[in-house]
């Protein structure tokens, strides 16, 4: 369990640097990330490098005994570069260009910008690549943040056409696969295909999907150019990128694979995230100061898989932030709790954003570990407490790696894109559906791995697929070979890879293991709520329901009140034919877990547990005091079983 911090020496007088470094070490911080927005200071004019200040900053921090994470500055190209190369600015869907004056104002498809990035990264890597205190490099910053992935530039268009040609080989094959006979959309050549913007009504969904697939590949290949430079010049450093929470614009599994990342790092802002995602208002209100109990855990569990087991929190909320619709001060204890939570889920490092609140510019309302006057902030004091506890407790400082969970949830990026392109009902959001299932599993006290459908799933006892648009033979093969219980949610197998309805009807290839067919689907306005019960739990379908037919030996385990099947099963495979209200999802999963021989419990709202090594952690995000479900004779290494809001306890698992 190591603690880090994000630091911007270029924003403070040099006279403060040595004292900052000393105070970081005193606080218990071991890692410091610097430089990721400092291009205008590294290269104030084209080709004129000024390293002397960065040499001194690196030297000062290293001399204090800190390990460094060096960021490449490509998320903020300087003004001289934009003035010299206007084509670096990205083009938005409406055809206008972004302006200079904030950050991320670059087009990932621009050949000019790619060349400029390789140039600055090479210069940095040649200078610092073998510095013994620089243990990791972070590339760029939050790729895609501020909705900057899709670019509708001529560079993007040219590369998209080449990408399509490679994928389809002939334009006839593309016309056929896309169904372009519809509305006379047929193209005479690849060069005639445009980007899917500025059309009077919906563009062809497969055109949109291929553009999203292409953009996802663009992000990975843009990034790969930096990785290639860094591998060469910094051969022993960990290479990472700081991803975001709930962010799905590119396929992170593919990205990690294409870039051979050493660690998946991500930026965790639990309260701001809770405010900005599609949660019911009642939950946002309940967890306004603690964050929803699953909102960070969800991404810890996802990024652990993306990093092949290794993940860091590169930026951790340390107090109120500035960018959510509302930005409250966290409840007392939460800054400390979030650190333990990340460690319980397997993080190697939790690094805070930022060392000191900056009194000027865009983030002046964003807290840090220090107030602008250099006094430790309330969050800073909680970090100090956590650092002292960890240092004093061998069981915490020498934690083993997290074991594989018995339960997997499949998260699929393409499914997110397909159902965004074709919501069909305005409240249908795939990631929110996955989150609801995840929340139900965690409320049952289970540890969960969130993984790709292409991962090896053979060791799991319960595999939950809240939905997956395309079910391919490989996935059906995994079901056939595994001994697990499988739960599939609505819209599973509803599409082919070319965004059409399977000829056998949904759920497509899943019918091989679960004979059934989806005849019609409906999205549900809030006043349409077909009711049902399962295992004594009453609830309704929300957002989405399917009218399905059970075939062969498939059983109907529950019906809606209007006689349509709600839950079907065949052998070890279940299908849930609607988006059900939360308690019903929990009941479906509790039954599947029981069939899988996995023990569950009903945790009070706001209480969560997580096992790592031989420890069990419990966290209280709720407003009331609760009792952690530790055995009566448990040995506690931290806290006790009585948990007030924001409290943590840790005991030795039996």
Nearest Cα neighbor of 620 from 221, 228, 332 is: 332
Residue nearer to ligand GAL on the CB measure, 75 or 434: 75
- The contact pattern for ligand GAL, residues 90-129, with x = CB under 6 A and - = no contact, is ----------------------------------------
Residue nearer to ligand GAL on the CB measure, 7 or 486: 7
Inter-CA distances, 626 with 274, 364, 607, Å: 22, 37, 7
Residue nearer to ligand GAL on the CB measure, 276 or 523: 276
Tell which one of 206, 321, 450, 615 touches ligand GAL (CB under 6 A).
Answer: 321
We find the least distance from the C-beta atom of residue 242 to ligand GAL, in angstroms, to be: 6
By CB neighbour count within 10 A (0-12 exposed, 13-18 middle, 19+ buried), where does 387 fall?
A: buried
Per CB under 6 A, the segment of 139-147, 281-289, 305-313, 372-380 that binds ligand GAL is 139-147
Residue nearer to ligand GAL on the CB measure, 321 or 487: 321
We find the least distance from the C-beta atom of residue 572 to ligand GAL, in angstroms, to be: 42
We find the least distance from the C-beta atom of residue 148 to ligand GAL, in angstroms, to be: 12
We find the least distance from the C-beta atom of residue 319 to ligand GAL, in angstroms, to be: 11
Per CB under 6 A, the segment of 138-146, 389-397, 481-489, 583-591 that binds ligand GAL is 138-146
End-to-end CA distance of the chain: 22
We find the least distance from the C-beta atom of residue 131 to ligand GAL, in angstroms, to be: 23
Per CB under 6 A, the segment of 107-115, 141-149, 459-467, 575-583 that binds ligand GAL is 141-149
Annotate 500-553 with DSSP letters as a single string.
---TT-TTGGGGGTS-EEEEEEEEE-TT---EEEETTEEEEEEEEEEEEEE-TT
Residue nearer to ligand GAL on the CB measure, 76 or 467: 76
Neighbouring residues of 119: CB distance < 8 A, sequence distance ≥ 6: none
Q: Per the residue annotation, which of 36, 43, 142, 414 is the catalytic one? A: 142
We find the least distance from the C-beta atom of residue 116 to ligand GAL, in angstroms, to be: 21
Tell which one of 243, 250, 253, 269 touches ligand GAL (CB under 6 A).
Answer: 269
Residue 315 is among the residues annotated as catalytic for this protein: yes
Per CB under 6 A, the segment of 294-302, 315-323, 402-410, 457-465 that binds ligand GAL is 315-323
We find the least distance from the C-beta atom of residue 146 to ligand GAL, in angstroms, to be: 9
We find the least distance from the C-beta atom of residue 36 to ligand GAL, in angstroms, to be: 7
By CB neighbour count within 10 A (0-12 exposed, 13-18 middle, 19+ buried), where does 16 fall?
A: middle
Q: Can residue 353 be called a binding residue for ligand GAL (CB under 6 A)?
A: yes
Tell which one of 218, 267, 429, 447 touches ligand GAL (CB under 6 A).
Answer: 267
By CB neighbour count within 10 A (0-12 exposed, 13-18 middle, 19+ buried), where does 260 fall?
A: exposed
The CA-based dihedral angle spanning residues 317, 318, 320, 325, taken in that order and rounded to the nearest 10 degrees: 0
Query: In the numeric block, which tokens belong to residue 409?
Result: 């949830």
We find the least distance from the C-beta atom of residue 269 to ligand GAL, in angstroms, to be: 6
Q: Can residue 142 be called a binding residue for ligand GAL (CB under 6 A)?
A: yes
Q: Can residue 301 be called a binding residue for ligand GAL (CB under 6 A)?
A: no
Interface size with ligand GAL, residues (CB under 6 A): 11
Residue nearer to ligand GAL on the CB measure, 267 or 449: 267
Residue nearer to ligand GAL on the CB measure, 33 or 336: 33
> Under a CB-based contact definition with an 8 Å cutoff, are residues 590 and 444 in contact?
yes
Q: Per the residue annotation, which of 315, 382, 389, 414 is the catalytic one? A: 315
Per CB under 6 A, the segment of 137-145, 334-342, 376-384, 441-449 that binds ligand GAL is 137-145
Q: Can residue 366 be called a binding residue for ligand GAL (CB under 6 A)?
A: yes
SS (H, E, C) 83-112: HHCHHHCCECCCCCECCCCCCCCCCCCCHH
Q: Can residue 145 be called a binding residue for ligand GAL (CB under 6 A)?
A: yes
Annotate 341-375 with DSSP letters as a single string.
HHHHTT-SEEEEE-SB--SSSTTTT---SB-TTSP
Residue nearer to ligand GAL on the CB measure, 141 or 581: 141
Give the whole-angstrom CA distance, residue 610 versus residue 293: 12
We find the least distance from the C-beta atom of residue 267 to ligand GAL, in angstroms, to be: 5
Residue 275 is among the residues annotated as catalytic for this protein: no
Query: In the numeric block, which tokens belong to residue 262?
Result: 């050493």
Query: In the numeric block, which tokens belong to residue 340?
Result: 């333990």
Give the number of other Cβ atoms within 10 Å of residue 557's Cβ.
Answer: 17
Q: Can residue 315 be called a binding residue for ligand GAL (CB under 6 A)?
A: yes
Neighbouring residues of 27: CB distance < 8 A, sequence distance ≥ 6: 3, 369, 376, 380, 383, 384, 387
Neighbouring residues of 542: CB distance < 8 A, sequence distance ≥ 6: 427, 524, 526, 529, 578, 579, 580, 581
Give the whole-angstrom CA distance, residue 69 versus residue 349: 12
Q: What angle do CA 599, 603, 605 make, to 5 degrees?
A: 150
Residue nearer to ligand GAL on the CB measure, 132 or 325: 325
Q: What three-state secondary structure class fits 40? A: helix
Give the number of other Cβ atoms within 10 Å of residue 332's Cβ.
Answer: 15
Q: Can residue 141 be called a binding residue for ligand GAL (CB under 6 A)?
A: yes
Give the whole-angstrom CA distance, residue 628 versus residue 631: 9
Inter-CA distances, 642 with 37, 183, 386, 607, 616, Å: 44, 65, 19, 11, 15
Residue nearer to ligand GAL on the CB measure, 186 or 363: 363
| Binding footprint of ligand GAL on the chain (CB under 6 A) | 141-142, 145, 267, 269, 315, 321, 323, 353, 363, 366
Which of the residues are catalytic? 142, 315
């Amino acid at each position: 369990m190591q603690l880090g911090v994000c630091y911007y020496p270029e924003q403070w007088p040099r006279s403060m640097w040595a004292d900052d470094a000393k105070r970081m070490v005193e606080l218990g911080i071991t890692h410091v990330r610097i430089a990721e927005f400092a291009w205008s200071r590294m290269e104030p004019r084209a080709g004129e490098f000024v390293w002397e200040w960065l040499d001194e900053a690196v030297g000062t921090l290293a001399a204090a005994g800190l390990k460094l994470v060096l960021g490449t500055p490509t998320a903020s190209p300087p003004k001289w570069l934009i003035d010299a190369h206007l084509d670096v600015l990205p083009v938005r869907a409406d055809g206008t260009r972004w302006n200079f004056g904030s950050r991320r104002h670059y087009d990932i498809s621009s050949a000019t910008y790619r060349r400029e990035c390789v140039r600055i990264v090479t210069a940095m890597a040649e200078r610092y690549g073998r510095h013994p205190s620089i243990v990791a490099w972070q590339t760029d910053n939050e790729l895609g943040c501020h909705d900057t992935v899709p670019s509708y530039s001529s560079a993007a268009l040219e590369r998209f056409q080449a990408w399509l040609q490679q994928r389809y080989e002939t334009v006839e094959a593309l016309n056929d696969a896309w169904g372009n006979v519809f509305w006379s959309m047929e193209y005479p050549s690849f060069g005639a295909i445009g980007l899917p913007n500025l059309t009077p009504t919906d563009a062809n969904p497969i055109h949109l999907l291929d553009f999203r697939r292409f953009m996802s590949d663009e992000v990975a290949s843009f990034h790969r150019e930096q990785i290639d430079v860094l591998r060469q010049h910094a051969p022993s450093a960990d290479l990472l990128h700081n991803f975001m929470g709930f962010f799905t614009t590119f396929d992170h599994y593919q990205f990690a694979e294409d870039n051979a990342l050493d660690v998946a790092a991500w930026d965790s802002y639990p309260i701001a995230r809770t405010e900005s995602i599609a949660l019911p208002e009642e939950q946002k209100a309940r967890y306004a100061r603690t964050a929803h109990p699953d909102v960070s855990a969800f991404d810890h569990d996802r990024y652990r898989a993306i990093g092949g087991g290794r993940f860091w929190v590169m930026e951790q909320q340390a107090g109120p932030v500035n960018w959510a619709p509302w930005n409250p001060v966290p409840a007392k204890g939460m800054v400390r709790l979030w650190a333990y939570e990340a460690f319980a889920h397997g993080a190697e490092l939790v690094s805070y954003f930022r060392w000191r609140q900056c009194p000027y510019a865009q983030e002046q309302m964003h807290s840090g570990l220090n107030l602008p006057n250099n006094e430790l902030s309330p969050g800073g004091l909680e970090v100090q407490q956590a650092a002292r506890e960890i240092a004093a407790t061998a069981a915490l400082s020498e934690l083993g790696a997290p074991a594989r969970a018995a339960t997997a949830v499949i998260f699929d990026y393409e499914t997110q894109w397909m159902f965004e392109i074709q919501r069909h009902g305005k409240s249908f959001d795939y990631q929110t559906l996955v989150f609801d299932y995840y929340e139900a599993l965690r409320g049952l006290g289970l540890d969960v791995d969130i993984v790709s459908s292409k991962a090896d799933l053979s060791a799991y006892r319960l595999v939950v697929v809240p939905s997956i648009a395309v079910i391919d033979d490989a996935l059906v093969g995994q079901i056939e070979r595994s001994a697990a219980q499988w739960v599939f949610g609505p819209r599973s197998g509803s599409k082919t890879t070319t965004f059409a309805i399977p000829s056998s009807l949904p759920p497509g290839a899943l019918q091989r293991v679960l004979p059934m067919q989806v005849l019609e689907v409906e999205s549900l306005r809030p006043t349409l709520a077909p009711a049902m019960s399962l295992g004594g739990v009453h609830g309704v379908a929300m957002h989405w329901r399917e009218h399905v037919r059970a075939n062969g030996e498939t059983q109907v385990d529950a019906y809606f009140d209007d006689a349509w099947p709600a839950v079907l099963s065949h052998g070890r495979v279940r299908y849930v034919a609607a988006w059900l209200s939360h308690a019903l999802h929990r009941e479906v999963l509790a039954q599947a877990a029981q069939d899988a021989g996995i023990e569950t419990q009903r945790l009070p709202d706001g209480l969560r547990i997580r096992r790592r090594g031989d420890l069990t952690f419990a966290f209280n995000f709720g407003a009331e005091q609760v009792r952690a479900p530790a055995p009566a004779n448990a040995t506690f290494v931290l806290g006790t079983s009585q948990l007030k809001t924001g409290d943590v306890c840790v005991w030795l698992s039996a």
